[in-house]
A = this chain, B = another copy of it.
Amino acid sequence: MNESLTNQTSLTSGQLIVCHVFVNTTTVASCLHRPLTAHTAAVMRENDESEIIEHHDDEEMEKTRTPRNHAHSFLESVTSSEKDGYRSTQSSHRLLAYSDALISIIATVMILPVAHTKFQDNEELKQSIQALLTTKVAVYLMTFLIVTVAWAAHIRLFQVIQRIDDTLALLNLACMMLITFLPYTFSLMATFPSNTLGILLFCACVMVIGLIQAMIVLYGFSHPFFLSDQIQMSENQAYYKRRILEVIMRVPIMCLFASIFSFIYIQLSYIILALVIFLPYISQCLKWIWSKAIGGLVEDSPDSVPFYTYHPSEPLRKERVEAFSDGVYAIVATLLILDICKDNVPDPSVVKKEFDGKLLVALQEYGPEYLAYFGSFATVGLLWFVHHSLFLYVTKATRLMGLFNTFSLAFVGGLPLAYQLTHEFPRGSLNELEAVQISCVIIFFAGLFQLAMWVTALFTERETLHPYVRYGGREHAFMLAKLSVYPCVALGTFVFSCILSRFSTSIFHMMEIGVPFAFILLRLLVRVVLAAIRWLFCPARNDLDIVPVEEEDSQLPINDIVT
C-alpha cells in the first residue's frame, strides 16, 4: 500500500518539476531579452529537444550546487508532493564522478604488473618485450578496452537515468564492484588461455552486470521522475524502455552464447567476445562511411532513442570524459612516486656498510631514477595540460572523439613502463637505446591521438568546437601548436637517438625537462612563426602586428596555409 502511494506522489512531483522548470525558463527568458532569446526559441521549437535537455540538466545541477538558496526560497513555497519527490531523488552528479574515478583507476592500474616485470639485462630487450607482450601487455590493453566499453555503457545508461535515490546508488555500487573484478578474469584468461574457467568467470560477470543495468532501467522507468526530461515528457516511454533493454541485454546474451560455446570449442568463444567489443564500432563505421559515400541514405527514425545508437557523432557527456581522463592522468602520475618510495629508500644497514653511513653518497646511486621521475611527471602533467587546453574549447564530445581519447589514454597509461625501462639499463647498452625508443613511441602516440581528437572535432566544428579554435579562429594556430608539441618532440627524439645512439638517454631526459619551457614560450613562438609565415606569403601586409584589431580577419588564409 505504501509503495503504490509513493509511486503516485512521485509521478506528480516529477511532472511538477518539469512544469516548474519550464515556467522558470520562460520567465527568465522574457526578462533577459538578449542572451536568452535563443533559448526561448529552442523551447518553442519542440523538435530541437537536445537544447532543452541541456538546459534542464544545467538547472538540475545548479539545484544541487546551491541547496542553501533553495532551502530559503524554493523549499518553503513548494507543495507537499514536490517535497516528497525531492526527498527521495538526488542528483546523480557525485555518483557519476565517483564511478568515473573508479573506472579510470581500474583501467590504468593493470599497467603495474607490466611495469614491475624484471627484465633480464643480459639478453636482448626485444626478446623480453616479446615474451612480455604475449601476456601482460595484452592483458593491460584488453582490460583498458573492455573497461572503457563498460564505461561508455555506463555513460549511456545514466544519460537516461538522470536522478537517483539510495536504491539506485547501491545498485550502481554493485555494478562497480563487478567491473573492478573484470581485470582479474582477464589475468586468468591470459595465463590459462585454453582453460574455460577464465572465460566463464568473465561471461558471468558481464551477465550479472547486464542484469543489474536492466534492473536499474526497470526501476528507473517505474519511477519516471528519475528519467531524463526528454523521456519523461515523451509519449513513447514503453517503446524507449523496450529499446534500451534490448541494447543492454545484447551483450549479456552474446556472453551467454560464448560461455556455452566455451565447452564445445573454446576459440569460438574468444571470437564471439571480440565481436561483442568491436562489432558495434565496425558496423557503425561502415554504415557511416556508406552514408557519407552515398549520401543521406541512412536516416534516423524520429522515434529512435538519440543516446542508444553507436553513431560516431553520438554525444558523450563532456564532464564525464573529462573526469575519466583526469582519473587516468592522476593515477599514472602518482604510480611513479609509489615506485620511488618503495625501491629507492636504501636499507640503513647497507648504507652503514657500503657507504660509511653517508646517505647522500648512497642516494647518488639513484640519480637516474630521480631524473626519470621528474621527467615522467612533467610529461604526464603536460599531456594533461594539453588535454585540458583542448577540452576548454570543446563544446560537445562525440563517440569518435571519445574513442581517440581512449587510445590516447591507453598510451598515457603505458608511461610507467617507459619510466621503468629508461632507468633500468646500464648506460650505453643497446637495451637503453631501445628503451628510449619505446618511450618515444608511447609518447608519440599519446600525443598523436590527442591531435586526432581535435582533427575529428574540426570535421563537425560547428557542433563540437568553440569559435576560437575553428578554422580561422584566433586560437586555432596556437591550439595546433600545443597539440603538435609532443608528437613532434617525440619524433625528433626518436630520430636523434637513432643517429646519436650513444647519448640517447641524455637526449631523452633533456627532452622531457625541456618541453615545459617550450610550453611557456609557446605563445611567443606561435606569434613569431605566424609573423614569419605572414612575411613570407603576404609581404605586403607585414605591418599587421601594429594593428592588432585586423589580425583576426587576416588569420583565416594564414591558418589554412599552416594546416
Q: Which A positions have Cβ atoms within 8 angstroms of B? A: 24, 27-28, 30-32, 34-39, 54, 58, 61-62, 64-69, 71-75, 77, 80, 87, 90, 94-95, 97-98, 101-102, 105-106, 109-110, 112-113, 166-167, 169-170, 173, 176-177, 180-181, 183-184, 187-188, 191-192, 195, 197, 319, 322-323, 326-327, 329-331, 333-334, 336-338, 340-342, 344-346, 348, 351, 359-360, 363, 374, 377-378, 381-382, 384-385, 388-389, 391-393, 395-396, 466-468, 474-475, 516, 519-520, 523, 549
Contact = CB atoms under 8 A, between A and B. Distances in A.
A322 B94 contact: yes
A40 B374 CA distance: 50
A197 B167 CA distance: 53
B337 A106 contact: yes
A196 B73 CA distance: 59
A318 to B, nearest CB: 8
Given A167-B520, A326-B94, A338-B109, A73 B34 contact: yes
A66 B58 CA distance: 8
Given A330-B98, A330-B102, A24 B32 contact: yes
A341 B187 contact: yes
Given A72-B38, A97-B326, A105 B334 contact: yes
B87 A475 contact: yes
Report copies per complex.
2
Nearest to A394: B67
A519 B167 CA distance: 9
Contacts of A467: 71, 75
A326 B68 CA distance: 22
A359 B58 contact: no
Given A169-B385, A337-B106, A395-B68, A191 B348 contact: yes
A334 B106 contact: yes
Contact of A474 (B87, B378, B393): B87
A195 to B, nearest CB: 5
Contacts of A520: 167, 170
Nearest to A465: B71
B192 A384 contact: no
Contacts of A36: 73
A166 to B, nearest CB: 7
Given A31-B32, A181-B337, 20 more contacts: A28-B31, A31-B31, A34-B73, A34-B77, A37-B73, A38-B72, A94-B326, A98-B384, A101-B101, A102-B333, A170-B516, A173-B382, A180-B333, A180-B377, A183-B337, A187-B341, A187-B345, A191-B346, A192-B359, A197-B360
A357 B95 CA distance: 43
Contact of A101 (B31, B87, B330, B344): B330
B519 A166 contact: yes
B183 A112 contact: no
A350 to B, nearest CB: 11
Contacts of A166: 385, 389, 519, 523
A66 B54 contact: yes
14 contacts: A30-B31, A61-B65, A67-B395, A71-B395, A90-B392, A101-B327, A101-B330, A109-B338, A166-B385, A169-B385, A180-B377, A184-B340, A187-B341, A197-B359
